Chain A
Amino acid sequence: MSDRERVVMDAAPSLGALYAKAAGSRLRALLPGGKAEGGTLPRAEHHLEALVADPARLVAYQRLMGDTVRDTLPSVFVHGMVFPVAMSVMVREDFPLPLLGMVHLSNQVDHLRPISGAATLSATAWAADLREHRAGTQLDVLVEVAEGGEPVWRGVSTYLARGIWPGPRPGAPAEARAPFDIPGRTASWKLAAGTGRAYAAVLGDYNPIHLSAASAKALGMKRAIAHGMYLAGRALAGSTPHDTGYQWGIEFATPVFLPSTVDVAFTDRGDQTVFSGWGARSGKPHFSGSITTMAQAPGSGR
């Protein structure tokens, strides 16, 4: 067992309240005598029981992503269900970095077996591995989702706080980014200006950088950007197996400013599908990732 202190939550906190709290801490951090930057991660995990998917939201999510409406939970939908628990860790008083303005770098998820839409789930979230990044400080937020004590979903989300370093600011980065060769597209997504609002309406993630040009500008973005998890959800829709477990991961390169057309390349290689997306006009890479079918779902025989 972990040496983390378990904080058992009574109910899922509202993301709106969490963002309000995050906005408050961001403000306080900017004031003289504000909270120390860098530092260490809280040695705590937040735990919530009795999470059940809202069927109407599930259908709305599947429609939004262009996926088939099924009674099993898409992996990104599970992420959305447990995101308030993860976020509650990141707005703790002793969390060393400001949540708002934090950059979402990547996700790695083990979707261990098909999860019923009616399943009663528990979620445990904690932060780990605070480390240096050339542009600031990065850390992982881990969430483990279980049904009846059996793990069914494990996710690692990696975030970056720009311009804040855990130790002294490192020298200029030696590595140069490899030039991006545009692959042959196999799909094209036309993302409307309201894409961020549509995702927020379904999964409740009302982070202002996704909602409108004005709210995004307030946080230093030139326009609203698509949720990383929206892009992940689109990539996974129709590409994940629905009768067995799978692993998937996505890395984000540059933000998708809305509205936008994203060209996407999918390639199937045996049990794996790799994908990448880039700006149809800009040619800039937005994301890349993969989906790997698990040969046999652990626990499927139980």
Chain B
Amino acid sequence: MSDQTQAIRPAVIIGGNRIPFARSNGAYSKASNQDMLTAALDGLIARFGLQGQRLGAVSAGAVLKHSKDFNLVRECVLGTSLSARTPAYDVQMACATGMEAIGSLANKIKLGQIDSGIGGGVDTTSDAPIAVSEGLRAVLMDLSRARTTGAKLKAVSRFRPRDLAPNAPGTGEPRTGLSMGDHQAITTKAWNVTRAAQDELALASHKNLAAAYERNFFDDLMTPFAGVSKDTNMRADSSLEKLATLKPAFGKNLGAEATMTAGNSTPLTDGASAVLLGSEEYAREHDLPMLANFVDFEAAAVDFVHGADGLLMAPAHAVARILKRNNLSLQDFDFYEIHEAFAGTVLATLAAWEDAEFCKNKLGLEAPLGAIDRSRLNVNGSSLAAGHPFAATGGRIVASLAKMLHEKGSGRGLISVCAAGGQGVVAILEAR
């Protein structure tokens, strides 16, 4: 076995590109997933001169996808100036889609199976798939199977007017019927995360994102799309006073104890992102920058259905495992990118890592992972300000963090992304 094991080589993040994220039913309401992901790829290809190249793979996905988009990413590739001989495939892992797509691609590079690849994701809730009702679908399927006029009439006779109501995708967990926000409200309360703390985190996200735009941080990470050049959800002029006026949007069953508002929760957003990865040899051969190494990634899932764990707490578990595997402590990082699905998710995760009981009972650790330096958290803003087009968030974070590490010239960054279904993916990047 051992003599067959190949040496593992670094997977390098070369750069990234995304389109600005736009609030749902706004600037991108007529754009499809294919349009947006193609735009993100076009910008990346232009920035790094990839025209005509056959890459090892393009791996991306969308959470909300039309059934006609069964080969979404391949269709996007065919619409770009990449070589048509570039293979592509779709990945789906809810909000961790982008992280899984990029991480698996990095693994293939590390193993020497491919030398280059693009990972990313896209989502739209404005051009979301709407399905016919189960009743109408059953009638249509039986009709297509019917061979005789009698059988066809019998199938049609089962149609009821109420079957005309369409099925729109929801953000509810199928097994519990609770929305993601209502699930997070349970966790937010369990960890005693206050409204004030959530609003402060949301404000910091907007301020940090605005400051990053101010210093042109995104200039080489973004291509304008449909007349938009900045994330439309960003509110640089937000304030704690304004945020404090918002009424609870989730966990309303908690009455006066409800703390989660539209201000400290991410809005539905449209957008796309893409990240170029390669081996060191590939980057050198094509004279491309090397921003950071994609060191490792880890997925976790929690037992949320009967409430043993919080729906969005899987990254807390994944971080404990990835730290152990890489022989690192939680404090060994210069940047922490914790996806802000809700401010409560970030704050509950931080609280859990500091909690001796949680770390012992849930993570099996002798000592808590401890606190982080909050000044290193989401320093260029995160999803509360930028928005969160589900599958596009991983690519946004990986590209931004790689650039931050490269700017600093040393150190490590930790990424944590939670996802529906009680899942999460975390990753470690290292500066080059």
Counting CB contacts under 8 A, is B171 at the interface?
no
Over the window 62-105 of chain A, the binary record of Cβ atoms lying under 8 Å from chain B Cβ atoms (1 yes, 0 no) is 01001000000000000000000000000000000000000000
* Cα distance A186–B177 in the bound complex, in angstroms: 9
Residues of A within 8 A of B306 (CB): 186, 239, 266-268, 273
Counting CB contacts under 8 A, is A188 at the interface?
yes
What is the CB-to-nearest-CB distance from A277 to chain B, in angstroms, rounded to a whole number? 12
Q: Rank and list the top 8 A-B pairs by shortest CB-CB distance, nearest first.
A: A186-B307, A266-B306, A187-B176, A188-B177, A268-B306, A188-B178, A187-B177, A189-B177
Residues of A227-242 at the interface with B, using a CB-CB cut-off of 8 Å, are 238-239
Counting CB contacts under 8 A, is A216 at the interface?
no
Residue pair B182, A188 in contact (C-beta under 8 Å): yes
Counting CB contacts under 8 A, is A133 at the interface?
no
What is the CB-to-nearest-CB distance from B135 to chain A, in angstroms, rounded to a whole number? 11
Given contacts A263-B253, A267-B306, contact A188 B176 (CB under 8 A): yes
Counting CB contacts under 8 A, is A51 at the interface?
no
Residue pair B178, A266 in contact (C-beta under 8 Å): no
Counting CB contacts under 8 A, is B305 at the interface?
yes
Residues of A within 8 A of B175 (CB): 66, 187, 238
Residue pair B253, A66 in contact (C-beta under 8 Å): no
* Cα distance A239–B175 in the bound complex, in angstroms: 10
For chain A, the count of residues having a C-beta within 8 Å of the partner chain is 18
* Cα distance A189–B305 in the bound complex, in angstroms: 14
Find the residue from A184, A185, A265 having the highest chain B CB count within 10 A. A185
* Cα distance A188–B306 in the bound complex, in angstroms: 12
Residues of A165-223 at the interface with B, using a CB-CB cut-off of 8 Å, are 184-190
* Cα distance A265–B186 in the bound complex, in angstroms: 12
Residues of A within 8 A of B308 (CB): 268
Over the window 282-307 of chain B, the binary record of Cβ atoms lying under 8 Å from chain A Cβ atoms (1 yes, 0 no) is 00000000000000000000000111
Counting CB contacts under 8 A, is A253 at the interface?
no
Give the nearest-CB partner of B306 in chain A.
Answer: A266
Over the window 124-138 of chain B, the binary record of Cβ atoms lying under 8 Å from chain A Cβ atoms (1 yes, 0 no) is 000000000010000
Residue pair B307, A266 in contact (C-beta under 8 Å): yes
Give the nearest-CB partner of A238 in chain B.
Answer: B175
Residues of B within 8 A of A189 (CB): 177
Residues of A256-302 at the interface with B, using a CB-CB cut-off of 8 Å, are 263, 265-268, 273, 280
* Cα distance A190–B172 in the bound complex, in angstroms: 12
Residue pair B305, A186 in contact (C-beta under 8 Å): yes
Residues of A within 8 A of B253 (CB): 185, 263, 280
Main DSSP-derived SS at the A contact region: strand
* Cα distance A187–B304 in the bound complex, in angstroms: 10
Residue pair A184, B178 in contact (C-beta under 8 Å): no
* Cα distance A270–B177 in the bound complex, in angstroms: 24
Which of A66, A265, A266, A280 is in CB contact (< 8 Å) with B305? Answer: A266
Main DSSP-derived SS at the B contact region: loop
Chain B interface category by residue count: 10 to 19
A–B pairs, 8, beta carbons within 8 Å: A63-B134, A186-B178, A187-B176, A187-B177, A188-B178, A239-B306, A266-B307, A280-B253
Give the nearest-CB partner of A186 in chain B.
Answer: B307
Counting CB contacts under 8 A, is B174 at the interface?
yes
Give the nearest-CB partner of A234 in chain B.
Answer: B177
Residues of B within 8 A of A268 (CB): 306, 308
Residues of B152-189 at the interface with A, using a CB-CB cut-off of 8 Å, are 174-178, 182, 186
Find the residue from A187, A189, A239 having the highest chain B CB count within 10 A. A187
* Cα distance A283–B419 in the bound complex, in angstroms: 31
Given contacts A266-B307, A268-B306, contact A186 B174 (CB under 8 A): no
Q: A186-B176, A267-B307 are in contact. List 14 more A-B contacts (CB 8 A).
A: A66-B175, A184-B186, A185-B178, A185-B253, A186-B186, A186-B305, A187-B175, A187-B176, A188-B178, A189-B177, A190-B177, A239-B306, A265-B307, A273-B306
Residue pair B186, A185 in contact (C-beta under 8 Å): yes
Given contacts A184-B186, A185-B253, contact A238 B305 (CB under 8 A): yes
Give the nearest-CB partner of A192 in chain B.
Answer: B162
Give the nearest-CB partner of A194 in chain B.
Answer: B162
Residues of B within 8 A of A186 (CB): 176, 178, 186, 305-307
Residues of A within 8 A of B177 (CB): 187-190
What is the CB-to-nearest-CB distance from A67 to chain B, in angstroms, rounded to a whole number? 10
Give the nearest-CB partner of B186 in chain A.
Answer: A184
Find the residue from A184, A186, A190, A263 having the highest chain B CB count within 10 A. A186
Which of A63, A187, A239, A273 is in CB contact (< 8 Å) with B178? Answer: A187
What is the CB-to-nearest-CB distance from A263 to chain B, in angstroms, rounded to a whole number? 7
Residue pair A66, B176 in contact (C-beta under 8 Å): no
* Cα distance A63–B306 in the bound complex, in angstroms: 21
Residues of A within 8 A of B176 (CB): 186-188
Give the nearest-CB partner of B179 in chain A.
Answer: A188
Give the nearest-CB partner of B182 in chain A.
Answer: A188
What is the CB-to-nearest-CB distance from A199 to chain B, in angstroms, rounded to a whole number? 16
Residues of B within 8 A of A263 (CB): 253
Residues of B within 8 A of A239 (CB): 306
* Cα distance A267–B305 in the bound complex, in angstroms: 9
* Cα distance A267–B308 in the bound complex, in angstroms: 7
* Cα distance A63–B137 in the bound complex, in angstroms: 14
* Cα distance A239–B308 in the bound complex, in angstroms: 14
Residues of B within 8 A of A273 (CB): 306
Residues of B within 8 A of A265 (CB): 307
Residues of B within 8 A of A238 (CB): 175, 305
Over the window 325-356 of chain B, the binary record of Cβ atoms lying under 8 Å from chain A Cβ atoms (1 yes, 0 no) is 00000000000000000000000000000000
* Cα distance A181–B182 in the bound complex, in angstroms: 20
* Cα distance A128–B308 in the bound complex, in angstroms: 40
Over the window 205-238 of chain B, the binary record of Cβ atoms lying under 8 Å from chain A Cβ atoms (1 yes, 0 no) is 0000000000000000000000000000000000
Residues of A within 8 A of B305 (CB): 186, 238, 266
What is the CB-to-nearest-CB distance from A230 to chain B, in angstroms, rounded to a whole number? 15
Give the nearest-CB partner of B176 in chain A.
Answer: A187
* Cα distance A187–B306 in the bound complex, in angstroms: 8
Over the window 110-123 of chain B, the binary record of Cβ atoms lying under 8 Å from chain A Cβ atoms (1 yes, 0 no) is 00000000000000
Give the nearest-CB partner of A237 in chain B.
Answer: B175
Residues of B within 8 A of A188 (CB): 176-178, 182
What is the CB-to-nearest-CB distance from B402 to chain A, in angstroms, rounded to a whole number? 39
* Cα distance A48–B299 in the bound complex, in angstroms: 53
